[in-house]
Chain A
Amino acid sequence: MFKKNFRHDNLAAYAMLTPILLGSTIFIIVPFAYAIYISFYEWGFYQAPVFVGFKNFYVNLTDELFTKAIWTGLKFTLYVLPTQLVLGFLFANLVKGLKGKFASFVKAAIYIPTVIGLILAGVIFLFIYDYLGGLANYVVGWFGLEPIAWLAEVRTALPAITVPAIWTGFGITTLIMLAGLLDISESYYEAAEIEGAGTFGKMRHITLPLMRNIILFLLVTGFTAQISQFELPWVITNGGPVNETATPNFYILQHFLNDVLIGRSIAAALMFFVVLGAISLVIFKVLNSEKAVDG
C-alpha cells in the first residue's frame, strides 16, 4: 500500500516538511555551521579572526574544570531524572483516581512551578536555603539542630540545587504521564483483573509496557533538559562551592561571559553537543532494541 503511494507521498511529505526544514536550516543549522567555523578561530570581532586550528578544543580538553563540569552535569541528571520520573509516575496514578473539580484543580496547580520558570524558581530557592532566614534551616531548627550551610558545603550543594529542578519539572512530567495513563484502555485492566493480577502486576505488565513511548520521550527530553541545566547554578550557587555545582552549560556560560575572545566557549559548547548526542544515542538504542518505536 505504501509502495503504491510512494510518488504521492513525496509531494505531500515535502510540502509538510518545508516549514520545519526551512526553520531549522535558517535559525539552527546555519548558525551552527557558522559556530563550527568560529570554533577554529580566535575572534575579537573588530579584527580579522585568527585561525588557531584545534587550539580552542585543546584548551577545553586540558582544563580539568571542563571534564569536571561534564561529570557534575551527569551527576546532577542522575539525581534529578529518576526522581522526577518515579514521582511523576506515582502521582499521575494517584491523580488518575481523583474526580471532579478537585482533580482539575490539582492538575492545574502542579503545573505552576513550570509556569514560573527556572530563573524565578532559582530566586525562590535561594531564599529557602538562606543560612539564617531560610525555610530549610527553619525546619532543621524544629529538630534542635544547628543551621546547615546548604549551599556552601561541598556535600550538600549539588543535592540542594536538584530540588528546584525536580520541583519545576514535576508538573509537566506528571501531566504527560497522566495523558499516557488515560490513553490505556480500561478493558486491559479489566481483563487482567479477571486473570487475578494485583496492582503491582497490572502496573508491570500493562501500564509500563504501554507507556514505553512516553517514558522514552520523557527520558530523552529529561536527560537533555537536566544536563543542559545552567539557570539554577547560575542563580543559586554561582557554580560553587569550589566548582562543585558548575554544570557543563554553566562552564560554557562563564567562559562566554568572561573570555575576551570568542571561540573557546563555542568550542566547549560543540564538544558538549557531541557528548550529549552520543549519550542520547545510547539511550535511544537501548530503548529501541527491544521493539521498534514506530507502530
Chain B
Amino acid sequence: MQAKWGKSKSWTVLLSVLIILALVVSACGGSNNKGSSSSPSASASSSSPSSSPSASGEPEPSASESSAPAEKVTIEFWQRSFEETTNKWFKKYVDEFNKSQDQIQIKYTLVPGEAWDQKMKASQAAGKAPEVYTMNYGGIANAAKLGQILPLNDLMDPVKFDDIYDNVKEFITAGGKYYAYPKLVEPSAVLYYRKDLFQAAGLDPEKPPTTWAELLEDAKKLTGKGVFGFSTAQVAGDLGWSSWGLQFGTSGHEALTSDWSKADINNDAYKAVFKFYQDAYQSGVMPKQALAPYPDMKPYGEGKVAMQVNGSWAIGQLRNSYKDKLEKTGIAPMPSQSGDPASATATLGGWTLVVDGKAKHPHQAADFISYLLAGDPAIMIDFFKTSGFSKFSARKSVDEAMKSDPDASKDAWRALIAEKIIPNSKAEPIYPWDVSMAVSTGIESAMKGTSVDKAIEKAEKTINDFIANNKLAGTNPKQ
C-alpha cells in the first residue's frame, strides 16, 4: 500500500532530481576537467614538453646542486600482462633500472589483460593515468589525436629513432611525430604444418602450399583419423584482426577507402577472401567448432590438426609446451590467393611504450623508455631469447647484435619469418574496431552458409551505416 511502484509523482520528482544532479555534476565536471588538464600541464608541460629540462617542477633543494642527488622522481609504469616470460623480463629490467641510477624510481604495476581497459580508462577519466604504459601499434594514432600520449621527438635522443626499421617507424608516427617507442613486432599469420603427416599423406614435406587452392587441396588429403587438415580463425572476434593480412594482400587496400568515407569491400578481391574462408570451413577440413581461440597453438600441439595458421608467438608455445612436435614441424608463410611470395598475408602487431599526455615528469618517463627499449641491445636480446625467438626486433642494431648471438643466428624459423614474412606484412589498420567486426561477421556468416555476395552486401551496408551514423568520413588521423 505505502510503497507501490509507478506512482507518477515520485517518478517526476526523481527525474527532476536526476536532471538537476546531472546539471550540477556537469558544472563541476566541466570545471574539474579544465582544472585537471590545466594543473598538471602547469607543472609538467603537456603543451611544451621541452621547456624545462628538469621538468619535475619541484623546488630544488638549494643546498648543493651537483653533489647532493636531486629529489628522486617516482614514475608510475603499468604493464599489461603478457606471457610469463615477458612479465618476468619487464620486472627484471625495472629493478635493474632502479638500481642503475638514483634519480628516477619506477613504480611497476602488472595489470591483468581482462581489466586493462577499465582500469586505464577510469584512471584517465580521473586524471590518474600512469606516466608510462604499454600500448599496441593499433592504438597509437587515435591516442595521439586525442592528446592521450606525448610525442617523443623532444624527449628522446633522435638517434634512437634512426635505429628503428622504416616500416615500423610508420606505425608509431602520427602527424609527423613519433608517439611511441616500439618493443617488438610479430606477424599475425604463419603457417605451421606437420612434416610427418605430410609424408604420410603422400605430400612433400619440404613443399608447403603457397596458394589457397593448394592449401585446401593439401588439407583435404591431411584430414582423417581424428586429425583435421587445417585450422585458422573461425569466429568473428578472431577473424576481425587475423584476416587483415589476407584482406590487404588480396585487394591491395583496407576495408575502408583511405578517407574513411565508405566501405571498399564490394569487389572481387574481398569476395575471394570470403570465399576462401567459406570453402575452408564447408569442405570439412576444419573443425566445425573452433578447438581453441586463434592465438592458441593447443590444437596443433595436441596433434589434432595437421596445419594451423597462427601468429609468430605460437613458436614460444610450441617450444615451451609441445616439445614433442618441434622436430616434426615446418613453418611457411600463410599462402596467398595468387601464390606471389610478396603478397601480404599477415599484419604486424606488436607493443610499444608511451608517455602519458598528462605526465608530470615526461623527461624522466622517456629516460626509462630509452633505457629499456632503446638502450643496450643486450636487454632486448635477453627478451627475444627468453620468448623463444617468437617475436621480432623493431631495431636494426638489435638484429645486428643478434647475428653474433649463437642461439639467434642458428634459429632457422627466426630467419624464415624475419626474411620472408615480416618484410611483406602490413601495418594493422587503425579504423574503429566496428568496421573490422562488420567484415569478420560477414566472413563468419559466409562460413556458416550465407552466400558470399549476400554476406559482402550486408557487411558493406553495416559499415556504411556506421560511417554515416558516426560521421566517420574524413576523420582518419593518419590523413
A residues lining the B interface (CB < 8 Å): 29-30, 32-34, 36-38, 43-49, 58-59, 62-64, 129-132, 147, 149-154, 238-243, 256-262, 281, 284-285, 288, 292-294
Chain A residues within an 8 Å CB radius of B21? 29-30, 33
Contacting residues of chain B (287-317) with chain A, CB-CB under 8 angstroms:
287-291, 304
Could you tell me if B148 and A44 are in contact, using CB atoms closer than 8 angstroms?
yes
Chain A residues within an 8 Å CB radius of B2? 294
Which residue of chain A has its CB nearest to the CB of B291? A131
Could you tell me if A294 and B1 are in contact, using CB atoms closer than 8 angstroms?
yes
Could you tell me if B121 and A46 are in contact, using CB atoms closer than 8 angstroms?
no
Could you tell me if A243 and B441 are in contact, using CB atoms closer than 8 angstroms?
yes
Chain B residues within an 8 Å CB radius of A29? 18, 21
B149 to chain A, nearest CB (A): 9
Which residue of chain B has its CB nearest to the CB of A234? B114
Give Cα distance in the complex from A240 to B191, angstroms. 25
**Residue B350 at the A interface, CB < 8 A?**
no
Could you tell me if A32 and B18 are in contact, using CB atoms closer than 8 angstroms?
yes
- Using an 8 Å CB-CB cutoff, how does the interface string of B13-48 with A read, 1 for contact, 0 for none? 000001001111110011001100100000000000
Give Cα distance in the complex from A284 to B6, angstroms. 9
* Segment of B210-218, B229-237, B257-265, B413-421 engaged in the interface with chain A: B229-237
Could you tell me if B147 and A47 are in contact, using CB atoms closer than 8 angstroms?
yes
Could you tell me if B25 and A62 are in contact, using CB atoms closer than 8 angstroms?
no
Known: A32-B18, A149-B289. A238 touches B235 (CB 8 A): yes
Give Cα distance in the complex from A131 to B234, angstroms. 13
B residues lining the A interface (CB < 8 Å): 1-6, 18, 21-26, 29-30, 33-34, 37, 117-118, 121, 124-125, 142, 146-148, 234-237, 287-291, 304, 357-358, 432-434, 441, 444-445, 448, 462, 465-466, 469-470
Known: A285-B6, A294-B1. A45 touches B235 (CB 8 A): no
Chain B residues within an 8 Å CB radius of A241? 235-236, 444, 448
Known: A132-B304, A242-B448. A294 touches B33 (CB 8 A): no
Known: A152-B289, A294-B1. 8 other contacts (CB 8 A): A30-B25, A32-B18, A47-B147, A153-B288, A238-B236, A239-B237, A285-B5, A293-B3
Give Cα distance in the complex from A243 to B458, angstroms. 14
Give Cα distance in the complex from A79 to B398, angstroms. 57
Q: Which of A241, A281, A294 has the most CB of B within 10 A?
A: A241
Could you tell me if A46 and B6 are in contact, using CB atoms closer than 8 angstroms?
no
Known: A59-B470, A257-B117. A242 touches B236 (CB 8 A): yes
Could you tell me if B146 and A260 are in contact, using CB atoms closer than 8 angstroms?
yes
23 contacts between A and B (CB under 8 A): A30-B21, A34-B29, A37-B23, A37-B29, A43-B125, A44-B147, A45-B125, A46-B358, A48-B34, A62-B465, A62-B469, A63-B466, A64-B462, A132-B291, A150-B289, A152-B235, A238-B235, A241-B444, A256-B117, A259-B433, A285-B5, A294-B1, A294-B2
B478 to chain A, nearest CB (A): 14
Give Cα distance in the complex from A179 to B352, angstroms. 56
Chain A residues within an 8 Å CB radius of B148? 44-46
Give Cα distance in the complex from A47 to B37, angstroms. 8
Give Cα distance in the complex from A33 to B33, angstroms. 16
Could you tell me if B117 and A292 are in contact, using CB atoms closer than 8 angstroms?
no
Give Cα distance in the complex from A259 to B472, angstroms. 13
Going nearest first, the 5 A-B pairs with the smallest beta carbon separation are: A44-B146, A149-B289, A33-B21, A149-B288, A152-B289
Selected from A33, A258, A284, the residue in CB contact (under 8 A) with B434 is A258
Could you tell me if B234 and A46 are in contact, using CB atoms closer than 8 angstroms?
no
Selected from B24, B125, B445, the residue in CB contact (under 8 A) with A262 is B125
Give Cα distance in the complex from A238 to B293, angstroms. 10
Which residue of chain A has its CB nearest to the CB of B141? A260
Chain B residues within an 8 Å CB radius of A48? 30, 33-34, 37
Which residue of chain A has its CB nearest to the CB of B139? A260
A45 to chain B, nearest CB (A): 4
Give Cα distance in the complex from A241 to B465, angstroms. 22
Q: Which of A58, A131, A153 has the most CB of B within 10 A?
A: A131
Give Cα distance in the complex from A45 to B142, angstroms. 12
Give Cα distance in the complex from A292 to B167, angstroms. 71
Which residue of chain B has its CB nearest to the CB of A284? B5
Chain A residues within an 8 Å CB radius of B25? 30, 33-34, 37
Give Cα distance in the complex from A242 to B440, angstroms. 9
Could you tell me if A46 and B441 are in contact, using CB atoms closer than 8 angstroms?
no
Chain B residues within an 8 Å CB radius of A294? 1-3
Give Cα distance in the complex from A43 to B37, angstroms. 13
Chain B residues within an 8 Å CB radius of A242? 236, 441, 444-445, 448
Give Cα distance in the complex from A71 to B213, angstroms. 41
A228 to chain B, nearest CB (A): 17
B268 to chain A, nearest CB (A): 24
Which residue of chain B has its CB nearest to the CB of A33? B21
Give Cα distance in the complex from A144 to B124, angstroms. 56
Give Cα distance in the complex from A154 to B304, angstroms. 24
